Amino acid sequence: MGVDVLSGKVFLLITGASQGIGRQIAVTFSGLLEKGSKLLLLALDEGGLKGTADKISKHVAVDFKEVDLAVATADQLSEIIKKSINPAQFDRIVIVHNVASMGDLSKLSTDMADFDYWRKYYDLNVFSPAVLNSVVMKLFKNVECKKVVINMTSHAAVLPVKCSGYYCSGKAAREMFFKVFAGEYPEANVLNYSPGTVKTQLFDTFRDTVADEGEQKKIHEMISNDQILTTEQTVNRLVDILKNQLYKSGAHVDYYDKLPIA
């Protein structure tokens, strides 16, 4: 059974595609795309991007670009995309806003007093997805194609995690932005997907550096109980969610949720 939201000639844009969930989305989705589709992979690690590109199904085209999304301007992002594709040749665009960082996990909220650190964190984790989304929508504004936007969110967007003030607030702000976008553009299919606790570099960072003892205990209990997901597990679940289309556009859907989600 195919996935309707990946049907036709698709332009698939994925940020944070050099490793982890972003890489797995690229690999899994590429196998579901039709001939004539194209992937554009963005991340800071060129070597990692090449590693992802090498794993992409051979029946679709792929480009990758090393870019620091925290500092790239709207014009620069627009040029990267225009050099890769002609918007008029696609039936559908799918954007996966996956780029993310944990932030400093050693601080309580009362110690987060550095304006520059806050700005840099939000530049990457909140502002860059918003700006990139705007750029893509403008490039495809006059093109007759369907639009799918997937924001990789987290349970931390709705549930506080101690010593994770940067990450929790960033995920919450980013998710709300895409909820607003979904309300403004009902023709777009918008999903805020929370992938569960997945074995990635972000997971390793949290496990190794979160200062709160309670959070340390929780994560080690999950490891002991074999509750950490693989990237394949969470991306396969994402595919099922997209296939069944039981959520309202803009909804927060977690790996463990039973749909439908309002």
How confident is the prediction for the chain on average, in pLDDT? 96
Q: Which of 135, 241, 125, 127 is nearest to 190 (CA)?
A: 241
Instruction: State which fold the 4-249 domain adopts.
Output: Rossmann fold (3.40.50)
- Tell me which amino acid residue 120 is: K
Is the preceding omega at residue 186 within 30 degrees of 0, hence cis?
no
Whole-structure pTM value: 0.96
pLDDT in tens, 200-253: 999 999 999 999 999 999 999 999 999 999 999 999 999 999 999 999 999 999
Compute, in degrees rounded to 10, the torsion defined by CA atoms 74, 173, 103, 55.
-60
The pLDDT of residue 217 is 96
> Where are the chain's structural domains?
4-249
pLDDT at 3: 84
Tens digits of residue pLDDT in 133-148? 999 999 999 999 999 9
Confidence band of 2 (pLDDT split at 50, 70, 90): low
Residue 1 in this model has a pLDDT that exceeds 80: no
- 75-114 residue pLDDT tens: 999 999 999 999 999 999 999 999 999 999 999 999 999 9
Cα–Cα distance measured from residue 38 to residue 29, given in angstroms and rounded to the nearest whole number: 11
